[in-house]
Chain A
């Protein structure tokens, strides 16, 4: 049964919201609009010169397949843990001194005296464990979902390189506080390295900056830990993410696309 209702009376003119009008020929009509226009101008200016918006749209508005679930967040969580390591690492680097005589004291200064020093150092220290756990979970996800198969083989290979580099970060970072534990663990680690065939002894000499654990070993570990390896990781992460966007993320292996009957011609 159709229902009849009286139309609601219109609001008094004083309470009616005024429709926004686009800025006319005589320019924007208020500070907010001026700011908005300014923003658009800046973006347009940048885009005219860089065409970045296309890439951004390509990255952000690509579709992720049906069935994408929480397991697919592990990769980006790994990246986030890496970013957290980078930020906390920068703050630690402001106080850290990689000389064998001063390293330990500078870390002690961070822990005892610097503002929030112990907190930041704790984040960096435990963040490394979190990153290792996340990277392993992410790898397990891609393994059990068969996500390394065609056409994503290369992304798997890049991923394994990232895994090795992450462990290299951990190994080189462990020495830096220069306390007993880090010193002796690293001595043993480098010696183990040296037992390897062919490149083993050379790798150990490279790490130690000489045949013995000496004054420059620490600064070498520091340079590897804060520049060489993170640079490689960042570059490979970029390649990894580019391939993710280019190829798309897999659908969970049990998903099947249902085909529309009308499109299937040759079914008898």
Chain B
């Protein structure tokens, strides 16, 4: 906006404002009605949906799938879509940070004087597109099963019971939250734990089992799993032991 446009706007605005009504009681009446609706909605949601409390936090659990609040689903989905490890920080931090910077600076790069949405086609289209993209990502994030899936084909030479065990191990590892800290193939987070894609090259299966039972913090111990459900534990070890 140049000086002329600014002055024109201020003049136009002063005229519209002079024709307007006082905030009290006219605008405040609408605001209060809206406040009452807001309160009613919150109360109804509380009464209908309640406030469930899940099982107590247990740092040693091995089968919990983390899910964020629904309005973070889109972020979650971005994380699922972008798999290559060198892009993960970009997806989780880079994209949101960039979006926030773009949002902060909006008034400084969109400087035209026009305000009607239909005469600002780029801004309006970008806004609508953003809304649809967020809605779509939220929808995908909401319907995604476990974020912890390991997309990996079994080694070709596995057959029969060994193959079943391998698949079970893959499932248990995927559901045990390992991917929150480790990367396996294309899945999982970059850190803080080391990458497990080729873990069996350095560690024999027995050493892997040892680490699972007796890990260094913050990794949870799988001792309990190995006591209560040894077949699951052994499947995990078998699966991890196949990662050459």
**Chain A interface residues toward B at CB < 8 A:** 59-68, 70, 72-74, 76-77, 80-81, 84, 104, 107-108, 111, 118-123, 125-130, 132, 134, 140, 143-153, 156-157, 160, 163-164, 167, 170-171, 174, 177-185, 187-189, 191-197, 200, 212-213, 248, 250-251, 253-257, 259
Which bracket fits the contact residues of B? 35 or more
**Does B214 belong to the interface (CB within 8 Å)?**
no
**Does B162 belong to the interface (CB within 8 Å)?**
no
- 8 Å CB contact of A66 from B19, B123, B191: B19
A144 touches B22 (CB 8 A): no
A72 touches B89 (CB 8 A): no
- 8 Å CB contact of A194 from B47, B71, B191: B191
Query: What 1/0 flags go to B1-33 for Cβ under 8 Å of A?
Result: 100001001101101111111111011101101
- 8 Å CB contact of B39 from A59, A84, A104: A84
What's the nearest-Cβ distance from chain A to residue B23, in Å? 5
B58 touches A255 (CB 8 A): no
**Chain B interface residues toward A at CB < 8 A:** 1, 6, 9-10, 12-13, 15-24, 26-28, 30-31, 33-35, 37-39, 41-43, 45-47, 49-51, 53-59, 61, 64-72, 79, 88-89, 92-94, 97, 100, 103-104, 106-108, 110-117, 120, 123-124, 127, 131, 177, 180-181, 189-192, 217-218
A184 touches B180 (CB 8 A): yes
**C-alpha spacing A157/B28, complex, angstroms:** 25
Given contacts A170-B71, A185-B67, A197-B93, A64 and B1 within 8 Å (CB-CB): no
B131 touches A140 (CB 8 A): yes
Given contacts A65-B16, A194-B192, A257-B16, A184 and B64 within 8 Å (CB-CB): yes
- 8 Å CB contact of A179 from B53, B93, B177, B192: B53
